[in-house]
Structure 1
Amino acid sequence: MGGKVDAYIDIEPRAPRSAWSTHRVGCRIFLLPYDHLVTRLFLSIHPILLGAVNAASGNKPPWTLPAKAKYGTFDARRSSVRVGKPDITTPDSFMERSMTVLPLRVLHFIKANYPDAAYLTAWHWLLHRFWEPPNANLTKPEVLAEALADAPRQYPGDTKDRLFSDADVRKILEGAATQEIKDSVKAKTQEAIERGAFGAPWFWVVNDEGKGEPFFGSDRFQFIINAEPYP
């Protein structure tokens, strides 16, 4: 039996896009190469609302501090190039678009009602549509519906081979509006807060002995692999 990783991420912070591109991830098995070892970890990815995490922890977005905002342009470019995504750009009207409650609810519904592969592809696709030109405004229901309808069965892949049918898109959007799914987003966000989250991506890693530790950031995989013992 391997360890377990709970990953708490939102669509709007830039770091999860880099984290997603850095390693091949799966909901059930997370393979982390480290030196000559391969570790098997059970991974569960939870969409959370970063704004609520910031409010609860007292954290503030880095661009609210002028010095960090100035440096962030350099760091963001370097990170994008490092993971092979040089086209990642901050959308116009970013503050408006960062209210990602609706796409997070959509992802919760997909996770609960579709296979893991569909859930992961939906994450890939929505991150791509949000962060890469022409930067879709996923907070608008009609834009989100179009994005879901265009999602390829595999990412990257041909959008003619669709992940979701028109009936699926209607089902997902209707399901995302239910109280059950609204409560699911709130519950996972609160779970992250109770586990010490002050930003995203936030990881809660439990090793094979049942010991849990938090990890923060898209470049912490080498630390996660050292949270021994793993088989």
Structure 2
Amino acid sequence: MGGRIDCYVDIASFYSYIIFLDLLRNRDLLKAHSITVEFHPFLLGAVNAGSGNKPPWTLPAKATYGLHDAKRTIARFPNLPIQFPADLMSVALTVLPLRALHFIKRTYPDPEVFITTLHYFFHAFWAPPNVNLTRAENVKMVLEQVPAGFKGAGDAGEEKLFSKDEVEAILKGAGSQEMKDLLKGTTQKALDQGAFGAPWLWVTNEGGKSEPFFGSDRFHFVYQFLGLPFQNVALLPPANQSKL
């Protein structure tokens, strides 16, 4: 048994944050089944434009339903502080932090540095007071604040992941043509796979066959495709019904 899950995410995508947390808390179990998980920062706005898709909140019916769906999804993580930005459209173009993540992923040998930074960017964007990551000064501030080994809300951490010199190097690297091309190439790769939104999963099973999956709640299909044992949804009898 084995395989891999390539997960394409954007910081400005709420459901990217959810799938990141889900995969993170199941990472050890997946590893025990010889499943490799890799996260790929990509630009959701470019995916929407390239696929002809539109953000769900631009359609009134989807926007109304989305409020219900978001509330139900957040309930799966009861201790997760979530507050949608007041004007999501104006802060959704997270190009600089996505390039910074690619630089960190390519530069630091320890993959946990990249995972921790991605986690903290998600937290900064979606937890109140919702840091605007379209601004370079805010990206710098967040990078300077990343706690080493960040585990989630409430983990301030005295030791910081990056020194001030490292933050400067990350920001400089994020502005390089190499990182611009890398983000663009990653986004195009997802589009070539058929991506039209986020999160986008490209899953490969032990036989080498790959299939796409979309959304943060398709794990029953993903696990089935990978041949993993999992507990499916099952309707139970009323609690007061006697057993036969």
Q: Which residue of 1 aligns with 2:206?
A: 208
Q: Which runs of 5+ in 2 are unaligned?
A: 230-244
**1:4 partnered with 2:4:** yes
CA deviation after TM superposition for structure 1 residue 230, in Å? 6.4
More strand by share: 1
Is the 8 Å Cα contact of residues 2 and 226 (structure 2) preserved in structure 1?
no
| More displaced 10-residue stretch of structure 1: 221-230 or 173-182 | 221-230
Q: How far apart are the structure 1 equivalents of 2:148 and 2:52? A: 39
**Aligned residue runs from structure 1 range 2-151, under 5 A:** 2-24=2-24, 31-32=29-30, 39-114=33-108, 115-151=110-146
CA deviation after TM superposition for structure 1 residue 222, in Å? 1.7
Q: How far apart are the structure 2 equivalents of 1:25 and 1:86? A: 13
Q: How far apart are the structure 1 equivalents of 2:14 and 2:104? A: 22
Q: How far apart are the structure 2 equivalents of 1:228 and 1:151? A: 34
Based on CA coordinates, which of the two structures has the bigger radius of gyration? 2
Q: How far apart are the structure 1 equivalents of 2:120 and 2:137? A: 16
Size of the aligned set, in residue pairs, is 225
**Identity fraction in percent:** 47
Is the 8 Å Cα contact of residues 146 and 162 (structure 2) preserved in structure 1?
yes
TM-score by length of 2: 0.87
Q: How far apart are the structure 2 equivalents of 1:160 and 1:177? A: 29
CA deviation after TM superposition for structure 1 residue 5, in Å? 1.5
Q: How far apart are the structure 1 equivalents of 2:23 and 2:195? A: 22
| More displaced 10-residue stretch of structure 1: 186-195 or 92-101 | 92-101
Q: How far apart are the structure 1 equivalents of 2:56 and 2:130? A: 21
SS in structure 2 at match of 1:12: coil
CA deviation after TM superposition for structure 1 residue 65, in Å? 0.9
Amino acid at match of 1:7: C
Q: Which residue of 2 aligns with 1:168?
A: 166
SS in structure 2 at match of 1:71: helix
SS in structure 2 at match of 1:45: strand
- Residues 87 and 230 (structure 1 numbering): CA distance in 2 closer, same or farther, change over 3 Å? closer
